[in-house]
Each structure stands twice: as structure tokens, then as C-alpha cells.
């Protein structure tokens, strides 16, 4: 679980909190359209006012969406880095399983960027990121929520993303899922 969270964290920061969120399965959640991250994904921004954010996430696509346990997940994310992101940037990550808090931790953003072939400093500009993640086949069924709140070393907001996602219990999943069993 911690490894998954760490993997999640990596993309979370730069442009794709998708990785983390994707690990937890498909969405069972009514989105606020003002908060929905554009693209095929189960992700929302934490706040409707994001003008000061150092990274503007433009689009995140997951394939497949929703992600499937035991299947590779391809993440494509694009965004604009507005100001240089230097060492010291960090991610506050909270993962809940139902009402139970599984994890609440702070991770170094720059250390995590190596997982997606990036490094600090991240210079201003538009970027697209593609990453394939092998999802574990044994993911405990249930509803997960993930919050990734990212800040610079000076505590300027970089981005904040969240998702509430459900992993169906095998046998109680949708007909589409059942066909593959
Ligand atoms: C990124 O792309 C947007 C829209 O395509 C453009 O307005 C902006 O100037 C670009 N930013 C940089 C740093 O190139």
C-alpha cells in the first residue's frame, strides 16, 4: 500500500496526480463540473480558484478509464509550469479507505519526479507526460479517497487534486468487468 502511494505521489506532483488516483480504481462520484480535471479520468481539483497555482493541469487521460486491477494503466497528462519548481517542493498526501485513514504523509516532490523521467528544477513551459503503471491485481475492494496537495519550498500552491473512487468486489462488479472473469 505504501509503495502504491509513493508511486501515486510521483505523478501527483508534476502534472498527473492520476497515477495515485488511478491505482484506486474507478469513480463512483458525482463531479462538480467546475472542479473536474479535463480528460478521461476520475480526478477533481480541490478548489475552483487556481490562479496562483504554479502548475496549471490542462488534461489527464487514463487508459483504460476506469483503471482495472492487474492491467497496465497508461497515463497521459499535460499542463503548464508557470514558475520554476525547485528542490524543497513537497506533496501532502492523504489516502482513506472508507472512513479509515490509511496514510497521511509528506513526500519530496523532486525525489518523486525521477519516477517519471523528470528532475528539478522544472522550468516554466508546456509539458506532456506519458507513463505506464502496472496496477497490482490484488486491490482490496472498497471506496478510496485520495488527496494530493502540492506546495513549493516557499509554501506557494503548486496544485491540489483529489478523487473518491470505488473498487468493486469481484462478482459484484459491472457486467463489463464480469465478462472478463
Ligand atoms: C502554453 O500553452 C498555452 C496555450 O497553448 C500558451 O498560451 C502559453 O503561452 C504556453 N506557455 C509557454 C510557457 O509556452
Grid look-up 487556481 returns: 50
> Cα(79) to centroid of ligand 1, in Å?
9
Which residues surround ligand 1 with Cβ inside 6 Å?
A: 80, 124-126
DSSP 3-state helix, strand, coil percentages of the chain (rounded to 5)? Answer: 20, 40, 40
For the ranges 31-40, 46-55, 140-149, 170-179, the lowest mean pLDDT is seen at: 170-179
> Cα(80) to centroid of ligand 1, in Å?
7
pLDDT recorded at residue 124: 97
CA distance 174 to 25: 13
Residue 82 Cα: closest atom of ligand 1: 13
pLDDT recorded at residue 17: 44
**First-to-final CA distance of the chain:** 24
> Cα(81) to centroid of ligand 1, in Å?
9
pLDDT recorded at residue 71: 86
Position 167 confidence tier, pLDDT thresholds 50, 70, 90 = confident
43/31: higher pLDDT: 43
Q: Where is mean pLDDT largest: 52-56, 60-64, 163-167?
A: 52-56
Ordered structural domains, the chain, with CATH = 3-167 (2.70.220.10)
Q: 100: helix, coil or strand?
A: strand
Over range 63-71, report the average pLDDT. Answer: 84
Over range 68-84, report the average pLDDT. Answer: 92
Q: Where is mean pLDDT largest: 18-22, 97-101, 111-115?
A: 97-101
pLDDT recorded at residue 143: 87
> Cα(14) to centroid of ligand 1, in Å?
17
Distances from the Cα of 92 to the Cαs of 8, 32, 63, 110, 135, in angstroms? 12, 23, 26, 13, 22
Give the closest residue (by CA) to ligand 1 atom 4.
126
135/44: higher pLDDT: 44
Give the closest residue (by CA) to ligand 1 atom 14.
125
Amino acid at each position: 500500500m505504501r509503495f502504491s502511494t509513493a508511486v501515486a505521489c510521483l505523478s501527483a506532483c508534476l502534472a498527473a496526480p492520476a497515477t495515485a488516483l488511478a491505482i484506486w480504481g474507478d469513480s463512483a462520484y458525482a463531479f462538480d463540473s467546475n472542479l473536474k480535471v479535463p480528460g478521461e479520468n476520475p480526478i477533481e481539483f480541490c478548489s475552483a480558484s487556481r490562479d496562483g497555482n504554479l502548475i496549471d493541469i490542462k488534461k489527464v487521460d487514463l487508459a483504460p478509464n476506469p483503471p482495472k486491477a492487474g492491467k497496465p494503466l497508461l497515463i497521459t497528462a499535460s499542463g503548464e509550469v508557470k514558475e520554476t519548481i525547485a528542490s524543497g517542493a513537497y506533496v501532502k498526501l492523504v489516502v482513506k479507505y472508507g472512513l479509515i485513514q490509511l496514510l497521511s504523509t509528506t513526500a519530496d516532490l523532486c525525489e518523486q519526479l525521477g519516477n517519471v523521467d523528470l528532475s528539478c528544477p522544472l522550468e516554466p513551459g508546456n509539458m506532456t507526460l506519458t507513463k505506464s503503471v502496472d496496477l497490482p491485481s490484488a486491490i482490496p475492494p472498497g471506496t478510496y479517497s485520495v488527496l494530493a496537495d502540492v506546495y513549493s519550498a516557499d509554501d506557494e500552491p503548486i496544485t491540489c487534486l483529489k478523487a473518491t473512487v470505488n473498487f468493486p468486489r469481484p462478482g459484484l462488479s459491472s457486467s463489463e468487468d464480469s465478462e472478463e472473469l
